[in-house]
Each structure stands twice: as structure tokens, then as C-alpha cells.
Chain A
Amino acid sequence: KAGVTQTPRYLIKTRGQQVTLSCSPISGHRSVSWYQQTPGQGLQFLFEYFSETQRNKGNFPGRFSGRQFSNSRSEMNVSTLELGDSALYLCASSFGLWRGGNQETQYFGPGTRLLVL
């Protein structure tokens, strides 16, 4: 079974631009969560989508948004990019609603490394 795939793997943008990242979950998984990983702040939770609805959200500004399609694929969008948005963006999927663990296990993708110049 294929794992979580993220595209693109690397991306360079300039300040003020916007970017869209894509995540394809493991086949059959209906939950997709997004995380930001930086050397300074570490790993931070962005949001979780399940059945095309945002079910949980971290403490990020509205410039960060996402959506999930009927096939469970998800996209994350960052508008008006700032230098501080440079990070590794990780996507993770689980079969059911994850909400931090409970009975589900999340499987992470390799991430998209975004560099904002």
C-alpha cells in the first residue's frame, strides 16, 4: 500500500506570493492533518480535515488555510508569504478522525520544504 505522498517536495517562493501544497493520503484514509516544522518552533499542528470538513485547528493566522476533496486528498494554502513561513510542511493521514490520537494512528508523508525569499 502506498504511503502518504506530498507534492511538490521542494518549493521556492518570494515574500507576498501565495503557495498551494498537496497531500494524497494512504488509500482508504479519510483524515488528513497538516503540520509546520521549523528549527526554531519545532513541530506545530496546523489543522485536520475529515470528510471534507475542518475538524481541528491549531494557532495559526488566517493566511494558512486548507481544504479536503471528496477523494480525501487535501491541499494547504498559504497566502501573502512571509520569510518566517519557510519550513517543512508535513501532512499525515489516518483512517478515522485523529483529533490527537485516541484509537487512530497517523502516518506522515515526507513533507514539502518551502523556502520563502
Chain B
Amino acid sequence: QQQVKQSPQSLIVQKGGISIINCAYENTAFDYFPWYQQFPGKGPALLIAIRPDVSEKKEGRFTISFNKSAKQFSLHIMDSQPGDSATYFCAAIRQTGANNLFFGTGTRLTVIP
């Protein structure tokens, strides 16, 4: 059973546009929600993260929106650039207990010049 559902699987956006990637989770015990960016041939890198007591977090052009009641969170990339072309993963983490860390299946973003 997929603990975290991510959509879309792939996304094509024009340069300067807004990229939006969505994730949904079931387990309300999750208490930390990071997003990772992965370029081909590289390992993932932490991009931005949010805790459920906050509804939005912004870092530069990247924003996480968090809807606790709907158990959904999304990544918004404003003014998307070709250099943003990468695969993005969301994750949901429970800071206690074992087997506490689950990732979405990834979204391949392509930003067209």
C-alpha cells in the first residue's frame, strides 16, 4: 500500500510558469514533510520541508502548501527555469517508531525554454 501518493508522474512547464506537484498521505501520525530534488545521475537533495503546524512555507521560488485536514501537501515552483528540470519527490515522515519514512513515486519536471 502506497503510504504517500504523488501526482502527476510527469510535468512539462514553460519557462516562467508555475510548476505544481501534489502529494497525499493517509497516516495522521506523520509529522514532517520534506521535498527532494534529484538530477539525473545524482542522489536526491533536500529542497524544502514543512511541519503540520504550518500551512505554508516559502524559500525563494519554492513554496510548500500544507492542508492538514485534507492530508495533502504540494510543492509550487514559481517562475520555473530550465535548471529546475529534475525529478521531485515528496516524503512523509513520522519522527518516532520504526519503518517511519515513506516517499512518493516522483514527478519528472521538464521546463521548456
> Quick check: which of B13-21, B38-46, B55-63, B71-79 contacts chain A, the rest being far away?
B38-46
> Could you tell me if B89 and A42 are in contact, using CB atoms closer than 8 angstroms?
yes
Closest to B42 in A: A110
Query: Is the C-beta of A17 less than 8 angstroms from some C-beta in chain B?
Result: no
Which among A42, A56, A106 is the interface contact of B100 at CB below 8 angstroms?
A56
Which among A58, A99, A110 is the interface contact of B43 at CB below 8 angstroms?
A110
Chain A interface main SS type: loop
> Closest CB-CB distance, B68 to chain A, in whole Å?
18
> Could you tell me if B41 and A105 are in contact, using CB atoms closer than 8 angstroms?
no
A90–B91 alpha-carbon span in the complex (Å): 16
> Could you tell me if B89 and A43 are in contact, using CB atoms closer than 8 angstroms?
yes
Closest to B93 in A: A100
> Could you tell me if A42 and B104 are in contact, using CB atoms closer than 8 angstroms?
yes
Query: Is the C-beta of A102 less than 8 angstroms from some C-beta in chain B?
Result: yes
A41–B91 alpha-carbon span in the complex (Å): 13
Query: Is the C-beta of A70 less than 8 angstroms from some C-beta in chain B?
Result: no
Q: Taking A43-B103, A57-B99, A106-B46 as contacts, is the C-beta distance between A100 and B94 under 8 angstroms? A: yes
Nearest 6 interchain pairs by C-beta: A108-B43, A100-B93, A43-B103, A42-B105, A45-B101, A101-B32
Chain A residues within 8 Å of B, Cβ to Cβ: 4, 41-45, 56-59, 90, 92, 99-102, 105-111
Chain B residues within 8 Å of A, Cβ to Cβ: 32, 34, 36, 41-46, 49, 89, 91, 93-95, 98-106
Known: A57-B99, A100-B94. 19 other contacts (CB 8 A): A42-B105, A42-B106, A43-B44, A43-B106, A45-B101, A45-B103, A57-B98, A59-B99, A100-B95, A100-B101, A101-B49, A101-B93, A101-B95, A102-B32, A105-B46, A108-B42, A108-B43, A108-B44, A108-B45
